[in-house]
Amino acid sequence: MKPKTRRRFLKQTAVATGLASLTPYFPWSQSAFANQSKNDRPVIGGIGLGGMGSGDCRGHAKFGDIVAVADVDENHAQRARNDERIGKGKADVVADYRRILDRDDIDVVSIATPDHWHVKIAIEALQAGKHVFCQKPLTLTLEENQLIRAACTKYADRVFMVGTQQRSERSKFLRAVNMVQKGLLGDIKHIKIGINGGSVGKHFTKSTPPANLDWDAWLGQAPKVAYIKERCHGTFRWWYEYSGGKFTDWGAHHVDIATWAIDQQGKGQGPVSIDGADAKHPVEFKDGYPTSDDTFNTAHDYNIVCKYANGIQMDIESRGDNGILFTGTKGRVFVNRSKIVGTPIEENWDKDSFDDSDLQRLFKGKVVEGHKGNFYRCIREGGLPVSDVFTHTQAMSVCHLAAIAARLGRKIKWDPKAETIVGDEVAAALIAREQRAGYEIPRVS
């Protein structure tokens, strides 16, 4: 089977089977992919090969063959190429990710760059005909939510999955979501989301970038600034220029689970007010922007209060335990990656309403399995993955609004149907950010 024929097969099977069919197009399993001949396995390119990117690619390699890796840090790319579970010493190495998108033989791209690069690369990958697996948080701004949704709507024959793996965790997170959605806790009145605080490092040294790193390309759409080691690998998340701190880091996981459980991830849904008055940053802010360029600037201590039109209050805080506490009129449940606790769990309130059919409903009609397994199943069978762009960006709206309210230190009002900040021009200006010339994100209509 020639590469273009294989790619046509991968895309046409997804289109032909429609959305979320309960009946597989043909028998499928991870081993089925693994045992296929080389010409029938998906061909994959990895973009961004730091710790998370390399980990993702090792997972992808169970389902297909990684033939190329791209990273603006040559050390990352070479390490991935020589990793026996990624490139196996054979993958092509490129600095410019567009060389991967140009290749007709590549079916799937895995994107695990810093956050501010996600949407640009993802849209260009969709335009190039690729299926996309992109790490969270998918977006940098509220505007980027709209841009990526528009692209995924236009290129609906491509499968796009976000790497929020908690959505595939059966015994804790899916159990909590099912319990809330089945009404076993009664009417949900309050949700407390613990995402921990950020780092507070200050006054870092500006220096020359290392020879292995293309610093200008790493900055991408963000403003051009002097190289600071702490702006880059490992700690980029503590700068609003490239991320949203813990609001988008852990918020992309826990806010996602919480808003999924209370059915607030549809079009036009979301909070109506977000209060950021109780938030502290390592540096002073003016009109939402830091007044120093050599210091971490994302919030490190906060309690953001989000209120919904249906009366639910959601607190996003740094001071409590990492996890999600759902409080309803009948009981409450706390869940995180290590445990799920509460009287409803101890007394097994969901013994008659947490079975394979319930899980299949949460998985949009597909069997429950690992995160990447669901991605490749959707490529073969069609349908939306368990972590799709449309619900993820609804959760990300809450995360970005929390960050904006914290940066301004006040309450803001949000119109979820119009997707606008109401009555606050300074806050509304933070919905989008200027993109540096040469690194603009494509607009898809």
Confidence check: pLDDT of 34 > 60: no
Q: In this predicted structure, what is the pLDDT of residue 40? A: 75
Q: How far is CA 287 from CA 272, 375, 396, 413, in A?
A: 21, 41, 22, 17
Neighbouring CB atoms inside 10 A of 169's CB total 18
- 23 confidence band (pLDDT: 50, 70, 90): very low
Given a contact cutoff of 8 angstroms between Cβ atoms, the answer to whether 192 and 320 are in contact is yes
* CATH pick for 169-352+390-431 out of 3.40.50.2000, 3.40.50.970, 3.30.360.10, 3.40.50.300: 3.30.360.10
Give all strands (DSSP E) within 120-168, no chain letters. 131-134, 160-162
Q: What is the pLDDT of residues 216-227, one digit of tens each?
A: 999 999 999 999
Q: In this predicted structure, what is the pLDDT of residue 433? A: 96
φ, ψ at 131 (rounded to 5°): -80, 145
The DSSP H or E segment spanning 17 is: helix 3-17
Confidence check: pLDDT of 398 > 60: yes
Record the tokens describing residue 10, joined without a space.
Answer: 């991968």
Q: In this predicted structure, what is the pLDDT of residue 247? A: 98
Q: What is the pLDDT of residues 304-334, one digit of tens each?
A: 999 999 999 999 999 989 999 999 999 999 9
What integer best gives the mean pLDDT of the chain?
Answer: 93
Q: In this predicted structure, what is the pLDDT of residue 396? A: 98
SS3 of 121, please? helix
State the Cα angle at 113 between 137 and 291, rounded to 5°.
Answer: 70
3-167+367-388, CATH topology level: Rossmann fold (3.40.50)
Record the tokens describing residue 84, joined without a space.
Answer: 């026996």
The percent of residues above 90 in pLDDT, for the chain, comes to 91
Q: In this predicted structure, what is the pLDDT of residue 265? A: 97
Q: What is the pLDDT of residues 148-185, one digit of tens each?
A: 999 999 999 999 999 999 999 999 999 999 999 999 99
Q: What is the pLDDT of residues 52-99, one digit of tens each?
A: 999 999 999 999 999 999 999 999 999 999 999 999 999 999 999 999
Record the tokens describing residue 185, joined without a space.
Answer: 């806790």
Confidence check: pLDDT of 289 > 50: yes
Q: What is the pLDDT of residues 128-140, one digit of tens each?
A: 999 999 999 999 9
- 6 confidence band (pLDDT: 50, 70, 90): low
* Per-domain boundaries in the chain: 3-167+367-388, 169-352+390-431
